[in-house]
Amino acid sequence: MILVSLLTLMLTQKAHTQEFTGGEGSVNSVTGNAFSLPAKNSSTIHRKSFMIGNSLFNTNWVIAPASVKTLDGLGPLFNANSCSACHFKDGRGHPPLEDAKPGEIFTSVLIRLSVPGKDIHGAPLDEPSYGGQFNHRSIIGVPAEGDVKIIYKETKDKFPDGEIYSLIKPQLEFSKLAYGDFQKDTMFSVRVSPQMIGLGLLEAIKESDILKKEDPNDKDHDGISGRANFVWNYTKKRRELGRFGWKANQPDIHQQNASAFLGDIGITSKLFPQQSCTSAQLECKKAYSESTPEISEKDLKDVEIYSKILAVPIRRNMDDADALKGEKLFKQMNCIACHTESYVTGIDKEFPENSKQKIYPYTDMLLHEMGEGLADNRPDFDATVREWRTPPLWGIGLFKAVNNHTRYLHDGRARNIQEAILWHDGEALSSKNNYVQLTKTERQQVLKFLESL
């Protein structure tokens, strides 16, 4: 009797941990604010910074000089005037949807640009006239870089059981280019904004735990390699493991945020003090600019703290038989070869809330060759054109609740979770084939599991 109740206790405790995808900081919410809450276990002092960081994340930056000096400096070239314009409700962005009005075009997508070659740090080389990012907006007096839209090519296929599916592949169409044609061999990469949850936990995963899963030459012959990206850390002035961005091209949240401030909004910081105007962009260079960085170190720090304690919502449907069967299939199909189930994070002295946490992010944080269909034809540090970082799957069932859409993958081409799976190729081909071979009921069980994350 005692043994039985002990066993039940152990079992419920195990289920309990698994439910807390983001460790002790996980929150219980399925509403539109599910991605916007501070980690449950975060300190009082961090919660204070969280409030300030939250307001800076939602601030609409304005053209300088303005009356509130701390919140001006927008542009000259930019994509949006706030972080939350793209990371709406700290959630996932999407390409222009079918019913988008002209003004809504590209509200949460950006296009990285480069030409062949690398700079001294191994970073991609900027396109000479447009820089490293296409900025479709600008302040008065400075020409915006141009317009762009996405058009889709549809292909149809069917499962062995006869069910038909279709996939759409995006193509870019630029117009009104203000600074001449792109250099002939320019490479473009379309990327949607990722959800902001659990980032501090991902940063706290021990580097050794990530690197030990690398298998660049596929020595174990399972068809899956997995490589780390090594990228430039501008503070430490050395190459470091890349963790953030769709190609793991940023080493940490601090640098990711500072580069977002500059690249996406036009806000300079101590780390990136120069406005990004190319030599072809004369009006941009001449535009009014304050001599000091446009965001202070303190404000940047508060945005960092905010970004590092946004909580992961708990998993739902923990006792739903179909979701649990789907979880089993997920493992059987070897999806976990890349979507690594769990870690215990290392120690982040500044963030005890993110330290020693058992988390279930479903990512190995490594790059994988995903085939020609997903290739963006633009390398990024060590990441090749076909390589992408395995994205964490926590929270993917909540995009509908938070952002009112269900677009997935780096450019948001997948219109639902199933389409995201069907795009898997390259190293993930045999997993994809396993999925295709499932019965319709089993496919629905897999989706039910993923939607419970």
Of the candidates 259, 207, 202, the one whose C-alpha atom is nearest the C-alpha of residue 235 is: 259
Q: How many residues bind ligand HEC (CB under 6 A)?
A: 55
Q: Rounded to whole angstroms, how far apart are CA atoms 360 and 348?
A: 18
Helical residues (DSSP H) of 251-295, grouped into ranges: 253-260, 282-286
Quick one: 87 or 182, whose CB is closer to ligand HEC?
Answer: 87
User: Pairing relation of β-strands 77-78 and 164-175?
Assistant: unpaired
- 85 near ligand HEC (CB under 6 A): yes
CB 398 within 8 A of CB 35: yes
Q: Which of 27, 37, 74, 83 binds ligand HEC (CB under 6 A)?
A: 83
Q: Segment near ligand HEC (CB under 6 A), from 65-73, 84-92, 320-328, 343-351?
A: 84-92
Q: Binding pattern to ligand HEC, positions 17-56, x when CB under 6 A?
A: ----------------------------------------
Q: Binding pattern to ligand HEC, positions 247-266, x when CB under 6 A?
A: --x---x--xx--xx--xx-
Q: Rounded to whole angstroms, how far apart are CA atoms 214 and 217?
A: 9
Shortest Å distance, C-beta 129 to ligand HEC: 20
Q: How many residues bind Ca ion (CB under 5 A)?
A: 11
Ranges within 103-132 binding Ca ion (CB under 5 A): 130-131
- 224 near Ca ion (CB under 5 A): yes
- 335 near ligand HEC (CB under 6 A): yes
Give the list of residues 6+ apart from residue 262 with CB closer than 8 angstroms, or none.
268, 269, 272, 275, 276
222 makes contact, choosing from Ca ion, ligand HEC, none, with CB < 5 to 8 Å by partner type, with Ca ion
Q: Rounded to whole angstroms, how far apart are CA atoms 20 and 214?
A: 27
CB 393 within 8 A of CB 339: yes
340 makes contact, choosing from ligand HEC, Ca ion, none, with CB < 5 to 8 Å by partner type, with none
266 makes contact, choosing from Ca ion, ligand HEC, none, with CB < 5 to 8 Å by partner type, with Ca ion
Quick one: 153 or 184, whose CB is closer to ligand HEC?
Answer: 153
Handedness of CA 316, 389, 205, 271 (dihedral sign): negative
- 269 near ligand HEC (CB under 6 A): no
- 438 near ligand HEC (CB under 6 A): no
Ranges within 367-386 binding ligand HEC (CB under 6 A): 368, 370, 374
Shortest Å distance, C-beta 278 to Ca ion: 7
> Helix, strand, or coil here: 44?
helix
Of the candidates 134, 143, 148, 149, the one whose C-alpha atom is nearest the C-alpha of residue 178 is: 143
- Cα angle for residues 307, 284, 94 (degrees, 5° grid): 40
- The upper half-sphere exposure of residue 339, i.e. CA atoms within 13 Å in the direction of its Cβ, equals 21
393-417: burial string, b at 16+ Cβ within 10 Å, e else: bbbbbbbebbbebbbbbbbbbbbbb
- 142 near Ca ion (CB under 5 A): no
Contact footprint for ligand HEC (CB under 6 A): 79-80, 83, 85-87, 108, 110, 191-194, 199, 224, 244-246, 249, 253, 256-257, 260-261, 264-265, 303, 307, 330, 333-335, 337-339, 368, 370, 374, 388, 390-391, 393, 396, 408-410, 417, 420-421, 424, 427-428, 431-432, 435, 450
Contact footprint for Ca ion (CB under 5 A): 73, 130-131, 133, 135, 215, 218, 220, 222, 224, 266
